[in-house]
Structure 1
């Protein structure tokens, strides 16, 4: 490692350590202002002293002298208070917190590669010295403070003295380096770009500030709302401390980047919180409203800066004046004009537009004094500022979301590579079987050729059988060697495949866990939304979050935020009655909205339910008829009318509802997550929305099907069952096709016709039986006819891209092990389309079946009975489908023992059986049948994964009539073999 690399590594480590210690100092200093027990105080002082001591040592290593001197003085102060057990005054705490902020500001300067000369910490050191002298009663260490001014400039000389022309370090070398490059140039440029009346915004630190702003605003909003309902004094003090800490930290950060309006607003909040903490002012609804409006101002400013737009200082000043009026009591919280209703109206809140990620800038930003705050950047390479992933449990680090996405992409490609290797392993096994077959053929002819060699023929004759026999013998030996090598190669590939599979599984699990976030992250703005609507509508509403700790994939959580906000606002604005109406109905004045999350297999079920008046089905049907929407008879289906595009029952257009951007947006967003949404309601008792979404969008379990010679993936979460049917199982009424399942008919549709592809199988007359997959989405079921079911597997879902993303029946695509692409079916849209189709499949199926009986060539399979023994459910379903499609009457057995019992009960025309099965394997079953008089001549076909010569020989010895290896399995080969034996 050369000198520059070592310097960068050490400085990066120091900055990470600085962030941890600064956070600890700020948190513990504020905690000491609360009424802590003696044990808690001792623990807090120990933590504070340890942080200052560690930071002093670390700053000495990297020669950041201002921090080193400041931490030395802080140690003296902390040691005095720790040992004397005296209480810190608020004034002293404020000074110490400012020092901590100044230390953090130096870290931000270094991280942004700015100079530290002239930093606020250097100006604060004399004050810190005096404070240390006052509390400890010692003389100030003047030389330490004086040396700081030269510290930044002297560091480079120390670093240059370490290495003389050598780029490499030995382990025992000492080193020093410059922590403040280009200070003079940065200072000159700042002065040049500064506006005459306001300091320049520090554009290099702005991305870091904007990232912190999001966290601080979220904390302020959450704690401000919680303060309104807290009753426990201890919890109240803790919330106040959190509010003060957030406002204080945000004020300091705004000061660092010279964002004066935000800094002044946070200072005003600090004053108010200090007044509340001292008991001079009571925390009220007015206080909470002021806090939340201040958060809105700060957030709006941050959003504009992220987008590179100018800030309207006049608007900020106006809104800040409104906040001052609220705090002083000269203004009242605004009351929105919302109309309470006894039954739920369908609100139409437009989901927020996606926020643009901030772009990094490298030049200082000037502030115009005429009332506009603008950003001027000259950076050519702009990159988005990464979002943070936070965790409250255990150690955590910041990981940019784009890096996780890249890691996930690589993991997915590895998954594809694993599938390709498995495919190649099958190919190798097939070659091995071919070589074994050739070797067997040569062996059969060897003896005949030796007999030919006994004839007397001229040795020079080229057709001499002896020479031919020698060639054959040599070739046979080479084939034996080839077979041996192929056996070894196949075994090695299979071993490598198992190892790769295990590695991929572990990597997949780790990436999956890294992306998981608690469900509470999707509920961040819900509390605020409910409070605003309740305050504006004079309602009393309590929001409960259940299952906040349930972990869901980050991309799923992001996709749930807007739908949840929309549904919660809808419940608060229209689902919940006024207190008077609730009292009249015998309900508590305070309504409850519950947002819950629960794991269900590979999915998470999210519910948004209220105890309001329920859906007004009469009005919903009334509006549907006015819009020429067909109204069903089933009340559950009537409730689903609210998901129609632009559907709204709100009579009053407000900023919350009535704009025609309704629940269809929620439905489309949830379905884009491969999920579904449903609604249920009880008059007078409330409404429940149920969202079912997968835990992750990266890989999904899918059923691979074939339609019109194309392979498609259908998510198994939408599949209820597989069904085989014949023409007589279909029914038709008023152009609507249905499939009789037991006693209940179910709507049936052809996936081929839904996708506008040519039909095959039963509908085309090429098979006697049809195969349907029953899809169930939001309690709506449709039997979808497919040509063939191939397998069930995990698939990596890729986006379709901008050119084809509007294909409504597909939600993505995946790469198959063969290298081909398969489209992923959007089950919800297929069900919706199928329910609206009116195709006479019944007539087509019966006509095709009749034509098939007249034209189909080959053996007559009608009435032929076949027993299929297979322990694998998937393989059993596939084989049964193949054989029934050919016209055989198939009975299945789960193992050899069950097959043995069935054969003794009734006769069969042929047995198709696996080898490796529980209780009785295929070899044992075949041998047993040959000893049974009634089944001694029963044809037996072994279909197995075993492909060695020894296994084939054992099968022949047991009495099998045919031996088919699954690795080389072909549907036509099986059908031809069965037909030949019958």
Structure 2
């Protein structure tokens, strides 16, 4: 059984990977916006959290290494060290080393201490030699320099803060030490610590593993509120932390600091009734001032209005902050549990279909009503479960910025990555299996597509190339496009290389569009020499197989001298879809409902020759395909057939079937290795009566019909009516 310590370490490792991803994203954004102080704060917070949590859970090597990096970025945050390419390179290298330390902690491998020392030394070399952080020129409350003369000593611009630190009794269970946090506060400036013992029980009731104390700290420091909150960053969930600013010891802002009466009531030194009785005997400050002739009444009214306005604004801001925190609440669930839940929902859908069919056979109104309610709940449960699996594809896009940055530097090219549609959602399983194919495609765009700066300048292009990675919904699919403004693919050169490598016969001639698709052939490569990036003939064929394994497909478009565009079409989910069940030759098939536009009746033609025909559908010419002929189905065709009009590859096609049965909630099952490459078929499903129906791949089916000669090979009709 896993111990609590092991569980805490596992939780830290998982959280650290998320923080490292956030750190990398912030650093890459900081490279484009080096003056953005919010990005600098994001970097600092990520490293501070890694350091604090690492020390808490026993990852001392990570805590010590991260402390050095954090120290440098603290100087950046104070404006003492500029954001440069060298600093970002070293910080990214530090991020990679922290990831390596996490791997070593799991695998018990020895970390590379020499590499860590080299990074640390390089980082320290960027820090000005003239003193430490404490020697830095102080700043005023607004972040600007103090208005003192350069020759004169600048007085410290300190601010006074009141910090209330009230940990939960169980804070020790998370490994935190409140005294260490108080010591860290003392390091920021002069501090007066006031412990509160009112909640400490007697010895007979005392539980030593619980924290019964809480503290008020009056701190005079040059640090801002963010620095104070950073001290408590990794115990925010285990403590009530209130930080208030005191600008002047004589006049305390009512909205920023508790009044004397409130403090006395909190401590139990006076009751609320006694306090109000005494206050009723005194006059407000404003009336005292006006009666003494010190200030006119209208000025007091203006000051009171300002006070009320500030209170209202602060209350509104607090409410918005609370709402944001509530809306961002989440819980981390293991992917295996989610996959198991989806499998259970799939089985529930099948049972619900079987129950629905049995209820219709009995014609029992009461039972039919219950079945309809079960179907509604089943649909909602299915949609909710699949919605949980949906993630924004931007989570995958973000890691490619680092890839493009490092690879363009390695190749000596200037390349900018533009990402669009990162909010587009896709099934988590698809996203996980999409990473490697996208890496291959991006590497090819940078290596083979985008030219070197000098070549681009000679061609009249900007020296910096652009690679655009975008995603968008299109019906029940997600389109992911990788486009570059590079040299494009020359079909003549591709044909020459294909003949040389034996991919095609020497005498074969192909149209330009088919020629460029030869890059997906196994072993094909246009690289003139083998490098660390390309040239071994492994890549695009693997990409195509990986995408097809996800029931997707790749479309390639390229213009010589202008660039290349590669579009990947993927289904939204790999688990459950809505389908339209049809009959062809006595066999059941399911057409994904996202492709279906309408259904119409169609008289069976007397002539059986030809594979593709045209019908007039309300004045629109629509080509159609008879699935009986395409599948070589036996048995007589009905007198009146039905046409299912589908959208495939941006065009409308008709699929002529014997009969349309109706909508079918389809749980997708794979066909296994033997049948997985059958053209026009993407999977199978189990019907309510326990028999099997094949799921049609509509775009592949249309392409198969277009490519085949009239009497060429047909897709054999599978005998699947008897069971799964």
State the TM-score, normalizing by the size of structure 2.
0.61
Structure 1 partner of 2:429: 555
Q: Does the Cα contact within 8 Å between 1:517 and 1:551 map onto a contact in 2?
A: yes
Structure 2 partner of 1:648: 525
Structure 2 partner of 1:360: none
* Alpha carbons of structure 1 residues 792 and 637: separation in structure 2 relative to 1, 3 Å: farther
Instruction: Give 1:241 deviation, angstroms.
Output: 1.7
Structure 1 partner of 2:102: 302
Identify which of 563, 567, 584 aligns with 2:458. Answer: 584
Structure 2 partner of 1:282: 82
Q: Residue 511 in 1 paired to residue 385 in 2?
A: yes
Give the superposed CA RMSD. 3.9
Instruction: Give 1:782 deviation, angstroms.
Output: 9.6
Structure possessing the higher radius of gyration over alpha carbons = 1
Identify which of 360, 363, 367 aligns with 1:493. Answer: 367
Q: Distance in 2 between matches of 1:822 and 1:303?
A: 46
Structure 2 partner of 1:311: 109
Q: Distance in 2 between matches of 1:230 and 1:792?
A: 52
Q: Map 1:767-786 to 2 at 5 A.
A: none
* Alpha carbons of structure 1 residues 789 and 659: separation in structure 2 relative to 1, 3 Å: farther
Q: Distance in 2 between matches of 1:812 and 1:561?
A: 23
Q: Map 1:702-851 to 2 at 5 A.
A: 702-706=579-583, 709-717=586-594, 726=605, 728=607, 730-731=609-610, 738-741=611-614, 759-761=633-635, 790-800=661-671, 811-826=682-697, 840=711
Instruction: Give 1:727 deviation, angstroms.
Output: 6.6
Q: Distance in 1 between matches of 2:629 and 2:580?
A: 16
Q: Distance in 2 between matches of 1:649 and 1:517?
A: 36
* Alpha carbons of structure 1 residues 527 and 745: separation in structure 2 relative to 1, 3 Å: same
* Alpha carbons of structure 1 residues 514 and 638: separation in structure 2 relative to 1, 3 Å: same
Q: Does the Cα contact within 8 Å between 2:612 and 2:705 map onto a contact in 1?
A: no
Q: Does the Cα contact within 8 Å between 1:614 and 1:686 map onto a contact in 2?
A: yes
Identify which of 110, 119, 133 aligns with 1:323. Answer: 119
Structure 1 partner of 2:294: none
Q: Residue 629 in 1 paired to residue 483 in 2?
A: no
Structure 2 SS opposite 1:679: strand
Structure 1 SS opposite 2:531: coil
Q: Map 1:266-415 to 2 at 5 A.
A: 266-303=66-103, 305-306=105-106, 309-313=107-111, 316-324=112-120, 326-327=122-123, 394-415=328-349
Q: Distance in 1 between matches of 2:391 and 2:543?
A: 22
Q: Does the Cα contact within 8 Å between 1:203 and 1:257 map onto a contact in 2?
A: no
Instruction: Give 1:649 deviation, angstroms.
Output: 1.3
Identify which of 347, 351, 359 aligns with 1:425. Answer: 359
Structure 2 SS opposite 1:494: helix
* Alpha carbons of structure 1 residues 318 and 782: separation in structure 2 relative to 1, 3 Å: farther
Structure 2 SS opposite 1:525: helix
Structure 2 partner of 1:221: 24
Instruction: Give 1:677 deviation, angstroms.
Output: 1.7
Structure 2 partner of 1:337: none
Structure 1 SS opposite 2:416: strand
Q: Does the Cα contact within 8 Å between 2:503 and 2:521 map onto a contact in 1?
A: no
Q: Which stretch shows the higher mean deviation, 239-248 or 250-259? A: 250-259
Q: Distance in 2 between matches of 1:492 and 1:637?
A: 60
Structure 1 gaps, min length 5:
1-110, 115-201, 331-389, 430-489, 732-737, 844-982
* Alpha carbons of structure 1 residues 410 and 279: separation in structure 2 relative to 1, 3 Å: same
Structure 1 partner of 2:480: 606
Q: Distance in 2 between matches of 1:493 and 1:783?
A: 38
* Alpha carbons of structure 1 residues 301 and 789: separation in structure 2 relative to 1, 3 Å: farther
Instruction: Give 1:823 deviation, angstroms.
Output: 3.5
Q: Does the Cα contact within 8 Å between 1:523 and 1:561 map onto a contact in 2?
A: no
State the TM-score, normalizing by the size of structure 1.
0.46
Bigger share in strand: 2
Q: Does the Cα contact within 8 Å between 1:577 and 1:613 map onto a contact in 2?
A: yes
Q: Distance in 2 between matches of 1:638 and 1:535?
A: 31
Q: Map 1:90-129 to 2 at 5 A.
A: none
Q: Distance in 1 between matches of 2:435 and 2:348?
A: 31
Q: Map 1:30-179 to 2 at 5 A.
A: none
1:271-299 CA-to-partner distances (Å, cap 9, x unmatched) read 33234334443322222222222222332
Structure 1 SS opposite 2:401: helix
Q: Distance in 1 between matches of 2:83 and 2:339?
A: 44
Q: Does the Cα contact within 8 Å between 2:679 and 2:704 map onto a contact in 1?
A: no
Q: Distance in 1 between matches of 2:705 and 2:688?
A: 31
Q: Distance in 1 between matches of 2:554 and 2:604?
A: 30
* Alpha carbons of structure 1 residues 628 and 527: separation in structure 2 relative to 1, 3 Å: closer
* Alpha carbons of structure 1 residues 637 and 295: separation in structure 2 relative to 1, 3 Å: same
Q: Does the Cα contact within 8 Å between 1:613 and 1:684 map onto a contact in 2?
A: yes
Structure 2 partner of 1:692: 569
* Alpha carbons of structure 1 residues 745 and 424: separation in structure 2 relative to 1, 3 Å: closer
1:87-125 CA-to-partner distances (Å, cap 9, x unmatched) read xxxxxxxxxxxxxxxxxxxxxxxx9865xxxxxxxxxxx
* Alpha carbons of structure 1 residues 801 and 666: separation in structure 2 relative to 1, 3 Å: same
Q: Distance in 1 between matches of 2:628 and 2:416?
A: 46
Instruction: Give 1:419 deviation, angstroms.
Output: 1.7
Structure 2 SS opposite 1:688: strand
Q: Does the Cα contact within 8 Å between 1:220 and 1:291 map onto a contact in 2?
A: no
Structure 2 SS opposite 1:524: helix
Q: Does the Cα contact within 8 Å between 2:603 and 2:639 map onto a contact in 1?
A: no
Structure 1 SS opposite 2:66: helix
Structure 1 partner of 2:160: none
Identify which of 553, 568, 583 aligns with 2:442. Answer: 568
Instruction: Give 1:622 deviation, angstroms.
Output: 1.7
* Alpha carbons of structure 1 residues 739 and 615: separation in structure 2 relative to 1, 3 Å: same
Q: Distance in 2 between matches of 1:623 and 1:776?
A: 36
Structure 1 SS opposite 2:633: coil
Q: Distance in 2 between matches of 1:658 and 1:835?
A: 34
* Alpha carbons of structure 1 residues 299 and 842: separation in structure 2 relative to 1, 3 Å: closer
Q: Does the Cα contact within 8 Å between 1:775 and 1:831 map onto a contact in 2?
A: no
1:675-730 CA-to-partner distances (Å, cap 9, x unmatched) read 22211122222211112222222222334344564433343556789887647463
Q: Map 1:527-542 to 2 at 5 A.
A: 527-542=401-416
Q: Residue 677 in 1 paired to residue 517 in 2?
A: no
Q: Which stretch shows the higher mean deviation, 274-283 or 536-545? A: 274-283
Q: Does the Cα contact within 8 Å between 2:521 and 2:540 map onto a contact in 1?
A: yes
Identify which of 536, 543, 548 aligns with 1:659. Answer: 536
Q: Distance in 2 between matches of 1:577 and 1:545?
A: 20
Q: Does the Cα contact within 8 Å between 1:747 and 1:835 map onto a contact in 2?
A: no
1:195-253 CA-to-partner distances (Å, cap 9, x unmatched) read xxxxxxx755331222022112111211222221105x3x2x22222212222222233
Q: Distance in 2 between matches of 1:799 and 1:560?
A: 19
Q: Does the Cα contact within 8 Å between 1:700 and 1:794 map onto a contact in 2?
A: yes
Bigger share in helix: 1
Q: Distance in 1 between matches of 2:447 and 2:8?
A: 41
Q: Does the Cα contact within 8 Å between 1:596 and 1:607 map onto a contact in 2?
A: yes
Instruction: Give 1:592 deviation, angstroms.
Output: 1.8
Structure 2 partner of 1:525: 399
Structure 2 SS opposite 1:649: coil
Q: Distance in 2 between matches of 1:791 and 1:418?
A: 16
